[in-house]
Amino acid sequence: MQNDIVLQTKGLKKYFGKVHAVDGVTISVSRGQVYGFLGPNGSGKTTTIGMILGLLHPTAGSVTLFGERVTPSHTKPLRRVGALVGHPSMVPYLTARQNLELLAHLSRDLPSGRVGEILEIVGLREAANQRAGQFSTGMKQRLGLAMSLLHKPELLILDEPTNGMDPAGMHEVRNQLSELADRGVTVFISSHLLHEIEQICDRVGVLNGGKVITERNVKELLGETAVVKVRVPSSAEAVRLLQSLPGCRDIKPNGAYVTVCGVSSQTVVSHLTSQGVVPSEVSTGQSDLESIFLELTASDSKEL
Amino acid sequence: MFWHLLSTENTKIFRRRLLWVVLALIAILVLVIEIVLHAAIENGLSGTAMPAEDRLNALQMITWPGALVNVLTLIGGNALGGLFFVILVSAVTSQEYNWRTLHLWLSRGVPRPMLRFAKFAALITPALLIVLTALVAGGVITAFFSFNINNSLYLDQVNFSQLVFSVLRTAYTLLPYGAVTYFLAVISRSTVVAISGGLAYVLLLEDILIQVLGLLGEPLQRMIQYMPSTLANSLLALNQAAIGAGDSSTAGFGIPLIATLGIAAWILLFLGLSLWIFQRQNLSE
């Protein structure tokens, strides 16, 4: 299974003087996975991506791409990677087409019509002959995406790819990423738009204060945080009984109701019934990624 | 990959408006300088009883073939050419940091030393263009003066193969100044620092250094002959001898080895330092 790991970081650290921007990040991304890299501003996402792309020298730790170590002095595995980091880089006095043609020079075996094709895909065909420096933020983002996709990479690393895009543009990007994932391209995406991440990602890593606070499959994370709400004759009694149920957490009485996390509704009902407390109402509420993210980063910040 | 990179870098430079603005300014400045020189010489010749030898020397400066040598001296590394080359190199090199376009190549697996080397190698063509532009502009206006004064261009006195070597030699004298500026641009990542540092070196620092070395006596005084401007002058002097003489037998030969190697050493020193620093740089947002 080791060969299926496309991207791996081990104990990755980056210190800028006394600032520990990244502090021991260990993550792994498997082939074909869409991996969401989440974290509040300043949590170290872009710095981590900079080290993955060989743009920054790590203070400690390692980055491995396709089983080969990557450092700023050894970046050969990056030829199989497409990347869009922060604000897209482009030559401002060249047109969108010229920018792509320059990059196309670097990739052997690229079909002659690939530049036109990619301009069509990202919706820049009409603006192909406009100077990139005159583009709006959203158009620059599209061009950046086109540049990252041009050489049909096996791994796509995207840092806030929908930054500055209108809702239609975001929707298009989301669809494109889903299509790429369906074709087996591995996607590593950092975004603030948690709704997007929830829709397209298989797995997420959450970063806070330069550290990974959790790395889980999205379904697993959402399932574990489902909230079970029961109406009981005595909420105090129910709370006491649920405290002895393994896996049960966040038990909160609220009038005639009690809410719990970490266990299924069936487990809660059967446990209470077996102890003589019969719930009259049962409902299950799914947490979304945003609330989980806020909860995780808030509780981690308190611990810090 | 290197040749693809070199071609890419050349394309980027050629599509920059700055290159064409610099070349246009050089052409205009050379024309203005030649016209002013012509006016000054005409005035001098008509106003005083000048000895025949002085008169001949003065006329040679604005008529073919001597005027061609004069233009090449004007556009050498330690003169006008050096100044414009410094401006071009600093803008081309340091703006890549501001635009973060270095990320484009590095994040695609291009090795850092190869990228830096290709970027410097791509500056050789603009160096040649700077010299050619000055030669063409100066050549055209002095051809007009030559017809006006001598009714002839004396083409038989122009050694065209030697002229080609002279263009190459003159462009070569621009490169150490380009390498110093390149180094300043890489280390500072700032266009302002690179331009001001490069211009200060061409206009002031090198002269001051030479003056100081001159005061220190032997053996430090001997270092003056290895300074870029002294080495450049030594190469540019060869242009004078060859074109003026019109002797095809010397075409391509007689390059002072020490001057050529000395200039190469300056280029390699600053290019090597640039590569070393770039290899260690963090290229974040």
| Confidence label for A110 from pLDDT (cuts 50, 70 and 90) | confident
- pLDDT greater than 70 at residue A11: yes
Contact B104 A105 (CB under 8 A): no
Q: Three-class SS of residue A74?
A: strand
Contact A85 B103 (CB under 8 A): yes
pTM: 0.85
Contact A55 B4 (CB under 8 A): no
E-assigned strand segments in chain A: 5-16, 19-30, 34-38, 60-65, 68-70, 81-84, 155-159, 186-190, 203-208, 211-217, 227-231, 249-254, 257-261, 281-285
Across chain B, mean pLDDT equals 88
CA of A50 vs chain B CAs: smallest distance (Å):
7
Would you state the pLDDT for residue B97? 92
Q: Three-class SS of residue A17?
A: coil
Would you state the pLDDT for residue A225? 66
| Confidence label for B136 from pLDDT (cuts 50, 70 and 90) | very high
For A53, the token pair is: 């792309």
- pLDDT greater than 70 at residue B105: yes
> Which residues lie closer than 8 Å to B226 by C-beta, 6 or more apart?
B262
Q: Which of A108-122, A187-201, B121-135 has the lowest mean pLDDT?
A: A187-201
Burial of B96 (0-12, 13-18, 19+ CB in 10 A): buried
Higher-pLDDT residue of B64, A82: A82
Tell me which residues of chain A, numbers 74 to 93, contact chain B at a CB-CB cutoff of 8 Å.
75-79, 81, 83, 85-87, 89-93
Burial of A48 (0-12, 13-18, 19+ CB in 10 A): buried
Q: What is the DSSP string of B205-243?
A: IHHHHHHHHHHH-TTGGGGGGGSHHHHHHHHHHHHHHHH
- pLDDT greater than 50 at residue B153: yes
Would you state the pLDDT for residue A224? 67
Q: Which of A267-276, B155-164, B245-254 has the lowest mean pLDDT?
A: B245-254
Would you state the pLDDT for residue B22? 97
pLDDT tens, position by position, B253-283: 345 888 899 999 999 999 999 999 999 999 9
Would you state the pLDDT for residue A250? 82
Would you state the pLDDT for residue B243? 63
| Confidence label for A1 from pLDDT (cuts 50, 70 and 90) | very low
Question: Measured at the alpha carbon of residue B83, what is the angle toward residues B80 and B88, in degrees to the nearest 5?
Answer: 125
Partner residues linked to A261 by β-bridges: A227, A249
Higher-pLDDT residue of B257, A300: B257
Higher-pLDDT residue of A231, A199: A231
Q: Which of A14, A93, A154, A157 to mutate to test the interface with B (most CBs of B within 10 A)?
A: A93
Higher-pLDDT residue of B173, B64: B173
Higher-pLDDT residue of B220, B130: B130
> What own/partner pairs with CB < 8 Å and gap ≥ 24 does B1-7 have?
B1/A106, B1/B110, B1/B114, B2/B114, B2/B117, B2/B118, B4/A105, B4/A106, B5/A106, B5/B105, B5/B110, B5/B114, B5/B115, B5/B118, B6/B118, B6/B121, B6/B122, B7/A105
pLDDT tens, position by position, B45-79: 776 666 777 777 788 888 888 889 899 999 988 88
Would you state the pLDDT for residue B253? 38
| Confidence label for A287 from pLDDT (cuts 50, 70 and 90) | low
A238/A251 Cα distance (integer angstroms): 10
Q: What is the DSSP string of A83-136?
A: EE-SSPP--TTSBHHHHHHHHHTTSTT--TTHHHHHHHHTT-STTTTSBGGG--
| Confidence label for A87 from pLDDT (cuts 50, 70 and 90) | confident
Q: CA separation (Å) from B231 to A104, B74, B112, B120, B178?
A: 41, 15, 31, 21, 15
The verdict on whether omega for the bond into residue A246 sits within 30 degrees of 0, i.e. cis, is no
Contact A89 B16 (CB under 8 A): no
Would you state the pLDDT for residue B217? 80
Give percent of chain B above pLDDT 70.
93
| Confidence label for B109 from pLDDT (cuts 50, 70 and 90) | very high
- In chain B, alpha helices (H): 2-14, 17-47, 52-62, 66-74, 80-99, 102-106, 112-121, 124-150, 160-188, 191-200, 206-216, 228-245, 257-280
| Confidence label for B124 from pLDDT (cuts 50, 70 and 90) | very high
Question: Mean of the pLDDT values across residues B144-153?
Answer: 85
B109 — contact with chain A (CB < 8 Å)?
A: yes
Q: Three-class SS of residue A190?
A: strand
Place of tokens 């040649």: B128
A99/B68 Cα distance (integer angstroms): 40
Tell me which residues of chain A, numbers 34 to 53, contact chain B at a CB-CB cutoff of 8 Å.
46-47, 50, 53
Residue type, A231: R
Place of tokens 């009694």: A237
B80 — contact with chain A (CB < 8 Å)?
A: no
Would you state the pLDDT for residue B254? 43
A62/A11 Cα distance (integer angstroms): 7
Question: Mean of the pLDDT values across residues B28-44?
Answer: 89
Asked whether the beta carbons of A81 and B105 are under 8 A apart, the reply is no
- pLDDT greater than 50 at residue A134: yes
Higher-pLDDT residue of A14, B155: A14
Q: Which residues of A touch B15 (CB under 8 A)?
A: 93-94, 98
Q: Which residues of B touch A85 (CB under 8 A)?
A: 103, 107
Question: Mean of the pLDDT values across residues A89-99?
Answer: 94
Number of residues that make up chain A: 304
CB pairs A-B closer than 8 Å = 86
Higher-pLDDT residue of A73, B159: A73
Partner residues linked to A257 by β-bridges: A231, A254
Q: Which of B119, B177, B159 is nearest to B245 (CA)?
A: B159
- pLDDT greater than 80 at residue A84: yes
Burial of A20 (0-12, 13-18, 19+ CB in 10 A): middle
Q: Which residues of A touch B20 (CB under 8 A)?
A: none
Would you state the pLDDT for residue B117? 95
B52 — contact with chain A (CB < 8 Å)?
A: no
Question: Mean of the pLDDT values across residues A100-106?
Answer: 90
Do strands A5-16 and A249-254 pair parallel, antiparallel, or not at all (unpaired)?
unpaired
- Number of Cβ within 10 Å of residue B4's Cβ equals 16
Report DSSP state, residue A287. P
| Confidence label for A187 from pLDDT (cuts 50, 70 and 90) | very high
pLDDT tens, position by position, A41-76: 888 999 999 999 999 999 999 999 999 999 999 999
The partner residue sitting opposite A78, judged by closest CB among B11, B109, B280, is B109
pLDDT tens, position by position, A241-278: 998 888 888 888 888 899 888 788 888 899 999 988 89
